[in-house]
Chains A and B, each alone.
Chain A
Amino acid sequence: MSARRKGTRLSADTLRFSFDGRTFTAQVGDTAASALLAAGVKAMGRSVKYRRLRGVMTAGPEEPNALLTVGAAPANIPNVPATQLKLSDGMVLQTQNRWPSLRFDLTALLQLGSAYFGAGFYYKTFILPKWRFWEGMIRRLAGLGNAPGRSDLPAPSLEHTHCDVLVAGAGPAGLAAALAAARNGARVVLAEREPAVGGELEFETAKIEGRSAGEWTCAALGELTRLGARVLTDTTLVGGSTGEMVLHTETAGMPGPARLIKIRPTALVIATGAVERMIAFTDNDRPGVYLLGAAERYLARYGVAVGQRLVLFANHDRVYLAAARLAAGGMTIAAILDTRVSGAQSDAARSAAAELTARGTACLAGHAVIAARGRRAVSAAVVAPVADPARMQSLACDAILVSGGWGPVIHAALQEGGTKRFDETLSAFVATDASDWRVTAGSANGAISLAAALKEGVNAGVAAAARAQRRGPMAAVPAASGDPEPHLQAYWRTPSDERAEKTQFVDPQNDVTVADLRSTLAEGFIDIEHVKRYTALGFGTDQAKFGGQLGAAIVAQLRGEPVPAVGTSRLRPPYHPVTLRSLAGHRVGAHLRPARVTPLHDWHLAQGAEMEAMGLWMRPRYYRANGSNATDAGIIEAGRVRTKGGIVDGSTLGKIEVAGPDAAAFLDAMYLSKASTIKVGRSKYMVNLREDGMVLDDGIVLRLSEERFLATVSTGHTDHMVSHFEHYRETEWASARLTLTDVTDAWAVIVVAGPESRAVLASLLGAQWQESLARLRHMDFATGLHDGHDLTVLRASFSGELAFELHCRPLIAKGLWEALVGAGLAPYGLEALDILRLEKGYLVSSELNGQTTPFDLGLDGLVALGNPCVGRDLLDRPAFREPHRPRLVGLRASDGKSRFLGGAQLTEDAVSAVPVGYVTSTAYSPALGEWIGLAFVSRAVPEGATLHVRDPLRGDNTTVKVVSPVHYDPKSDRMKS
């Protein structure tokens, strides 16, 4: 058994996992990348377009290549970065984008046709015989990983919270900021995306306040805890805007169980560090090419040597210090290629270089890597002087470690509306415009050295605490010594011929090369945003962390302009990929919408109702005992109402209680006709207009007392009508003596309809109700008690039959309902309700659609009353009286039997393409034995005219006759009996 590796994140315990069917042993704390590297596995996938063999390049979320699938279909989780995936015992991992296997991948033959797959290829190639011929095959080959068929991930949790100071990033600057703020009494939340705090202190040979970096970090963490700070690891600031930021916690570096934290800090410190940059050279995507910092992290955290014989390639002083640490870790440093002609600048770097040279390392100033060599993994680096690239030599190695500098992570600052500037010293963009609530510190602000990072962190923490009104003595900046200033000299790519540029990768995840950038510019896409979209630069899961700034700099070189002139593409949240599962949270399945239910909901379910969502409300469409589908059951239920009687749950009806001395005057202004003329104990059918004169809603208004009214509104319009009333209450009626209260849920409504309705009610409600019931005329109501609770009985009908609405307290609704059922009145649902109201020509949302005037709906009589209400003035617009305006009519099939459906167009003949109207709603009428409908047709079409129903999508074409919209009981004798 091999010796246990030692690392800051490892324990000695082991676990087993499988990778492409092979079983491996790892240590607890290993990521998939560290364990595979320790086992000598370098190839971890193939690229998306060219199917080139790829290995891990980084140690963090900027990883472009090593994306794995966890688990098996259909519950597989694709595209998990191996660099962040913390292993657990028994985990099953697969590589992606290869068939049938990683080693023998037939799709790698695509490399032979790489000339046809350049940037924007789908606009230029594969167009003969036509794109569709190729599209299916290309789509099957494209993409990263396979989408899962289901998700077994646990539901993520959500937290809403706030704090004085949110510090994003727990490297040296972030720790210093959090400490300074907490010492000043601020409530601090410190979020770190890694499983442990410290950032580069994990592997830098640093001293802070005389202690080792590790000791200082531990002490800082302890003090923060004592001061009440909340430290969150594995937690990334994924996005936000002024006032609210979103933190995302993933366990083990893979999706779920996740937690989203919506946090409102008074001040934000962005200490998110910087991401190391690649340098583009030929075949820089081979397994065995790594970022320099990644190699240090694998050694420090996991005790993994990424190679045995290394070539280092960089443009700054820190490469020498890193080389020394890697050599101390047992690796041989074959060569250090420093693109700077002058080589090491600082004393520390010169000293390290001298020691390395003494031990056999070739420190080559003014040199660059021209190409990586090796088929399945790096076996050599071809190097040459920058000034004389023809003088090449090959250096045997099994790993090339690259560092082209660092790009500060400025996402949070820019997403929050900040801007950026180009720092010439770092050759990188940093955020500017520190607002009064946000400040950037540390390497995220371009302060690469430890001392500078700590100083900026302390200042940021104090400023943030002050913003939250927490002030204390100025905090001391801890004395520190670490890696020297980098003395960086910009170097973005090794020049080469255009053929070699085809394998100089800028964004490996999307196979974007220097050649792609060159051709894109040549085709006229010169703005960086166009370059991004044309080439897919920065599209991938790393979201431009790996190649964004590198790509922009190369574009600048190719355009012959300075980097600031090109800029970078816009950075958008989330900072790292967040699963849809996390964002959806608990809003899945039954939790998707806050369904509303009536007091009779459980009864409906128990009695086999087929429930339907009507907005948020769940209502019975029909009862399965009456038929297996809505049409059949609706016909039976509606027919029963006409012949005997039935009950329907109308509790969803919107109800607004309007009270006060000015209530009547207010309602006069809200409705087309006056409410003030309604007598106590009476109700009236009323219509609301919008300000522009269009019909807004209709309902019944009951006058409960001189100063108290109950306004009923359509189920789907309740919230809108409440807002509508409240708007006028707060503005034009601000000083009125009136109140508005939504009492929709305070009253259950049971509609009792049909010829036997009165008799049944009389027998059920008891003696105290007999007289009231007997004297109730149409639109009268009576109030009283039933079972000790309030009850209102309103004689009104939406069905055309004798009918009563029982408005009762929810507590007694079920008892009343069951008594009615027991008395022989069967329930009916929405389907039957629609048939009944359609037979009588009553309006619902199909007709009250926001595009109709009262004239269109035949409400001229109400308009003629002349009540000066909201919307009344604009009714006088000439356009409202134009001859082609629609009017509401009824329709019957000319042959007395054909079906026609709502939404169909109406024309005057079978061939005309110009409609004269459309069908709003239809139903089969059991009372009339045929299909009937309502429609809007041009006023020029007379009653009795024959029109053609044109329904090309559903095929129900027929001819219909224009009739009165009141199909049934036109004189309302049954309703008013």
Chain B
Amino acid sequence: MTYECQITIQGNARDIEFVAYAELSAAAGLPMAPGAVSVVGATPTLLHVAPDRWFAPAASAQTRADLALLTDRGSVIEVEGKWQRVDLQGPGATGVLSETIDIVAVLSERDCAAVTLFDCPSWVARVAGGYIVWTRASHRLHLQAEFARLTGR
């Protein structure tokens, strides 16, 4: 069975992970609810992917500056190259991910989550028209092969 879904492999990005070791208040400017996502326009800028861990994909200068203010409460880790971003767009995007996880249930009360997709540790965020998946770069070929199999490409 194949799904109608556009798969776009994105290029290298200077991503950041911020890991907190002290309590943060809402004033820190981070999305605080579990699975919450901050956006600029339609682009996710900060994802609360795990307890005390935020992900800033392709972190802008502003994001970097904001996070630098929090280094007394956590660590900013440069992770350029760690994550491979894959965009899924189209009516079949949910079906593609449902082949490996009940994505509808996982994201029923959150906008992003840390999951395992086809055995690949990944982060997934819901966006308009589909999803963005960040998977560990070393798993990229395997995940891309799974997506290709399911979209008939």
Binding site for B on A (CB under 8 A): 155, 157-162, 257, 259, 262, 264, 586, 590-591, 593-599, 601, 617, 657, 659-660, 708, 736-741, 743-748, 789-790, 809-811
How long is the Cα–Cα vector from A155 to B152 in the complex, in angstroms? 12
B120 at the A interface (CB under 8 A): yes
* Chain B residues with CB under 8 A of A586: 99, 118, 146, 149
Question: What's the nearest-Cβ distance from chain B to residue A738, in Å?
Answer: 6
CB-defined A-B contacts under 8 Å, sample of 15: A159-B99, A160-B98, A262-B102, A591-B149, A596-B136, A597-B138, A597-B141, A601-B141, A739-B19, A743-B77, A743-B82, A745-B82, A790-B78, A790-B80, A810-B137
Give the contacts of B18-55 with A (CB-CB under 8 A): 19-22
* Chain B residues with CB under 8 A of A155: 149
B128 at the A interface (CB under 8 A): no
B107 at the A interface (CB under 8 A): no
* Chain B residues with CB under 8 A of A810: 12, 80-81, 137
How long is the Cα–Cα vector from A736 to B52 in the complex, in angstroms? 13
Question: What's the nearest-Cβ distance from chain A to residue B38, in Å?
Answer: 20
Determine whether the beta carbon of B77 is less than 8 Å from that of A657: yes
| B140 and chain A: residue at smallest CB distance | A597
* Chain A residues with CB under 8 A of B136: 596, 745
Q: For A746, give its contact among B79, B101, B118, B119 (CB under 8 Å).
A: B79
How long is the Cα–Cα vector from A738 to B73 in the complex, in angstroms? 10
Determine whether the beta carbon of A160 is less than 8 Å from that of B81: no
How long is the Cα–Cα vector from A596 to B82 in the complex, in angstroms? 13
Determine whether the beta carbon of B79 is less than 8 Å from that of A159: no
Q: For B146, give its contact among A162, A591, A659 (CB under 8 Å).
A: A591
Determine whether the beta carbon of B19 is less than 8 Å from that of A160: no
Determine whether the beta carbon of B17 is less than 8 Å from that of A162: no
Determine whether the beta carbon of A739 is less than 8 Å from that of B74: yes
Per DSSP, chain A at the interface is mixed
Determine whether the beta carbon of A159 is less than 8 Å from that of B98: yes
* Chain A residues with CB under 8 A of B19: 659, 739-741
| A598 and chain B: residue at smallest CB distance | B138
Q: For A739, give its contact among B77, B95, B103, B120 (CB under 8 Å).
A: B77
How long is the Cα–Cα vector from A809 to B11 in the complex, in angstroms? 13
How long is the Cα–Cα vector from A741 to B102 in the complex, in angstroms? 27
Contact A660/B75 with A586-B146, A595-B141 known, Cβ cut-off 8 Å: yes
Question: What's the nearest-Cβ distance from chain B to residue A786, in Å?
Answer: 13
B69 at the A interface (CB under 8 A): no
Determine whether the beta carbon of A739 is less than 8 Å from that of B78: no
B104 at the A interface (CB under 8 A): yes
How long is the Cα–Cα vector from A159 to B105 in the complex, in angstroms? 13
Question: What's the nearest-Cβ distance from chain B to residue A844, in Å?
Answer: 20
How long is the Cα–Cα vector from A738 to B74 in the complex, in angstroms? 8
How long is the Cα–Cα vector from A597 to B84 in the complex, in angstroms? 12
B68 at the A interface (CB under 8 A): no
Other CB < 8 Å A-B pairs besides A660-B74, A739-B20, 7 of them?
A157-B99, A160-B101, A586-B99, A586-B146, A594-B143, A745-B83, A748-B81
Question: What's the nearest-Cβ distance from chain A to residue B135, in Å?
Answer: 10
* Chain B residues with CB under 8 A of A591: 142, 145-146, 149
Q: For A744, give its contact among B21, B138, B141 (CB under 8 Å).
A: B138
Query: How many B residues face the partner with a CB closer than 8 A?
Result: 39
B100 at the A interface (CB under 8 A): yes
Question: What's the nearest-Cβ distance from chain B to residue A519, in Å?
Answer: 50
Determine whether the beta carbon of A741 is less than 8 Å from that of B101: no
Determine whether the beta carbon of B137 is less than 8 Å from that of A162: no
* Chain B residues with CB under 8 A of A599: 81, 137
| B108 and chain A: residue at smallest CB distance | A162
Q: For A811, give its contact among B22, B80, B146, B149 (CB under 8 Å).
A: B80
* Chain B residues with CB under 8 A of A257: 1
Determine whether the beta carbon of A739 is less than 8 Å from that of B81: no
Determine whether the beta carbon of A617 is less than 8 Å from that of B138: yes
Determine whether the beta carbon of B100 is less than 8 Å from that of A811: no
B139 at the A interface (CB under 8 A): yes
Contact A595/B21 with A160-B101, A741-B75, A790-B80 known, Cβ cut-off 8 Å: no
Determine whether the beta carbon of A596 is less than 8 Å from that of B139: yes
Question: What's the nearest-Cβ distance from chain B to residue A731, in Å?
Answer: 15
Determine whether the beta carbon of B142 is less than 8 Å from that of A594: yes
| A810 and chain B: residue at smallest CB distance | B81
Determine whether the beta carbon of B105 is less than 8 Å from that of A158: no
How long is the Cα–Cα vector from A46 to B130 in the complex, in angstroms? 55
Determine whether the beta carbon of B104 is less than 8 Å from that of A746: no
How long is the Cα–Cα vector from A157 to B152 in the complex, in angstroms? 13
* Chain B residues with CB under 8 A of A744: 82, 138
Determine whether the beta carbon of A161 is less than 8 Å from that of B81: no
* Chain A residues with CB under 8 A of B105: 161-162, 264
How long is the Cα–Cα vector from A393 to B21 in the complex, in angstroms? 91
| A162 and chain B: residue at smallest CB distance | B105
Determine whether the beta carbon of B138 is less than 8 Å from that of A746: no
How long is the Cα–Cα vector from A809 to B143 in the complex, in angstroms? 21
Contact A747/B81 with A257-B1, A601-B141 known, Cβ cut-off 8 Å: yes
Determine whether the beta carbon of B149 is less than 8 Å from that of A745: no
| A659 and chain B: residue at smallest CB distance | B75
How long is the Cα–Cα vector from A694 to B139 in the complex, in angstroms? 32
Q: For A736, give its contact among B21, B75, B78, B137 (CB under 8 Å).
A: B21
Determine whether the beta carbon of B81 is less than 8 Å from that of A811: yes
* Chain B residues with CB under 8 A of A809: 12, 80-81
How long is the Cα–Cα vector from A399 to B120 in the complex, in angstroms? 58
| A155 and chain B: residue at smallest CB distance | B149
* Chain B residues with CB under 8 A of A736: 21
Determine whether the beta carbon of A594 is less than 8 Å from that of B139: yes
Question: What's the nearest-Cβ distance from chain A to residue B19, in Å?
Answer: 4
How long is the Cα–Cα vector from A746 to B79 in the complex, in angstroms? 5
* Chain A residues with CB under 8 A of B78: 746, 790
How long is the Cα–Cα vector from A831 to B17 in the complex, in angstroms? 36
The 9 A-B residue pairs whose C-beta atoms are closest, nearest first, are A810-B81, A739-B19, A746-B82, A594-B119, A659-B75, A596-B138, A160-B102, A157-B1, A739-B75
Question: What's the nearest-Cβ distance from chain A to residue B27, in Å?
Answer: 20
* Chain A residues with CB under 8 A of B146: 586, 591
How long is the Cα–Cα vector from A700 to B144 in the complex, in angstroms? 33
Determine whether the beta carbon of A738 is less than 8 Å from that of B140: no
Determine whether the beta carbon of B118 is less than 8 Å from that of A594: yes
Question: What's the nearest-Cβ distance from chain A to residue B96, in Å?
Answer: 11
Question: What's the nearest-Cβ distance from chain A to residue B122, in Å?
Answer: 11
How long is the Cα–Cα vector from A659 to B138 in the complex, in angstroms? 24
* Chain B residues with CB under 8 A of A594: 118-120, 139, 142-143
| A161 and chain B: residue at smallest CB distance | B102
How long is the Cα–Cα vector from A259 to B150 in the complex, in angstroms? 13
How long is the Cα–Cα vector from A591 to B83 in the complex, in angstroms? 21
How long is the Cα–Cα vector from A158 to B81 in the complex, in angstroms? 31
Contact A158/B99 with A594-B119, A810-B81 known, Cβ cut-off 8 Å: yes
Question: What's the nearest-Cβ distance from chain B to residue A692, in Å?
Answer: 29
| B120 and chain A: residue at smallest CB distance | A594
| B95 and chain A: residue at smallest CB distance | A159
* Chain A residues with CB under 8 A of B118: 586, 594
How long is the Cα–Cα vector from A160 to B78 in the complex, in angstroms? 34
How long is the Cα–Cα vector from A660 to B75 in the complex, in angstroms? 7
Question: What's the nearest-Cβ distance from chain A to residue B72, in Å?
Answer: 9
Question: What's the nearest-Cβ distance from chain B to residue A504, in Å?
Answer: 47
Determine whether the beta carbon of A739 is less than 8 Å from that of B21: yes
| A602 and chain B: residue at smallest CB distance | B141
How long is the Cα–Cα vector from A745 to B95 in the complex, in angstroms? 28
Residue from A593, A790, A810 having most chain B Cβ neighbours under 10 A: A810
Residue from B118, B137, B146 having most chain A Cβ neighbours under 10 A: B137
Question: What's the nearest-Cβ distance from chain B to residue A620, in Å?
Answer: 15
Determine whether the beta carbon of B74 is less than 8 Å from that of A746: no
Question: What's the nearest-Cβ distance from chain B to residue A373, in Å?
Answer: 51
Give the contacts of B108-153 with A (CB-CB under 8 A): 118-120, 136-143, 145-146, 149
How long is the Cα–Cα vector from A737 to B105 in the complex, in angstroms? 34
* Chain B residues with CB under 8 A of A601: 141
How long is the Cα–Cα vector from A744 to B120 in the complex, in angstroms? 14
| B81 and chain A: residue at smallest CB distance | A810
* Chain A residues with CB under 8 A of B12: 809-811
How long is the Cα–Cα vector from A257 to B118 in the complex, in angstroms? 20
